[in-house]
Amino acid sequence: PEEKKPELPLFYGWFLLKEEEERIKCATMDFLKTLDTLEAFKEHISEFTSEANKEVDLEQYFQNPLPLHCTTKFCDYGKAEGAKEYAELQVVKEATGKSEELSVTALIVTPRTFGARVALTETQLNLWPEGEDKVGVAPTLLPGVESLPAGSRAHVTLGCSAGVEAVQTGLDLLEILVLQKEGKEGTQVEMDMGTLSYLSEGRWYLALREAITADTTFSSFSE
């Protein structure tokens, strides 16, 4: 019998246009290049490498196989909860193939992931599934996440360290936002691009002085 094609995609999201992808990659790589030369970063280098006194080349440390995007709904070809319902939403159908400008307001770096925080507009939030911020969040982090505004998890994964899955970027971002809300920010360093803060256990947050915007297209993605 003929094999049935999967009806639902791996995920939906906003995909950066090719030329935008290059621009964002360059700008964010420049930040990584500066970060690993900072004294404040070097003081916490052991959180990125087990070898004492070893330097870390962050540009090599993070890898990213997927096109740059901001996931709205991970469907897992229909295996994820709410996947079918999401695909059938009128707003989703209408948005597919449409352009949208995303605004990146911060960058995060942890021993696991490198990501860009996306600030969603009211219109963009219509495509953000209810309760999506909480999916797969550890029980200990859940109360903190529930106190954050919807869409707090929105991000673009710029890279992951060896053996780490992209889903981790959103989880790392949420952890950082919860720590910030609890007032647990440590060292702050002024950089050209913005204010860098340290949030324990190798977590860094760069609040951009000026948001980086990127033109995208909303669509589904399947491998």
Residues that bind ligand ACK (CB under 6 A): 10-11, 71, 74, 135-136, 157, 166-167, 169-170
The helix/strand/coil state of 215 is strand
Asked if residue 111 lies in contact with residue 202, where contact means CB atoms within 8 angstroms, the answer is yes
The catalytic residue among 11, 68, 69, 218 is: 69
What is the closest distance, in whole angstroms, from the C-beta atom of residue 174 to ligand ACK in the complex?
Answer: 11
Six-digit token string for 185:
């920010």
The catalytic residue among 44, 112, 155, 203 is: 155
- Considering beta carbons, is residue 10 or 127 the nearer one to ligand ACK? 10
Using the 8-state DSSP alphabet, how is residue 149 labeled? P
Active site residue 44: no
Report the distance separating Cα 129 and Cα 86, nearest Å: 7
Q: How many CB atoms lie within 10 A of CB 63?
A: 11
Opening angle at CA 129, ends 124 and 130, nearest 5: 115
Nearest CA to 215 out of 71, 14, 73 is that of: 14
- Considering beta carbons, is residue 7 or 182 the nearer one to ligand ACK? 7
Residue 46, Cα to own-chain centre: how many angstroms?
24
- Considering beta carbons, is residue 136 or 149 the nearer one to ligand ACK? 136
- Considering beta carbons, is residue 198 or 205 the nearer one to ligand ACK? 205
What is the closest distance, in whole angstroms, from the C-beta atom of residue 101 to ligand ACK in the complex?
Answer: 19
Using the 8-state DSSP alphabet, how is residue 151 labeled? T
What is the closest distance, in whole angstroms, from the C-beta atom of residue 118 to ligand ACK in the complex?
Answer: 10
Beta carbons within 8 Å of 16's beta carbon, 6+ residues apart: 24, 67, 68, 69, 102, 156, 214, 215, 216
Asked if residue 71 lies in contact with residue 174, where contact means CB atoms within 8 angstroms, the answer is no
Report the distance separating Cα 156 and Cα 142, nearest Å: 22
What is the closest distance, in whole angstroms, from the C-beta atom of residue 198 to ligand ACK in the complex?
Answer: 23
What is the closest distance, in whole angstroms, from the C-beta atom of residue 167 to ligand ACK in the complex?
Answer: 4
- Considering beta carbons, is residue 35 or 171 the nearer one to ligand ACK? 171
The residues carrying an active-site annotation are: 69, 155
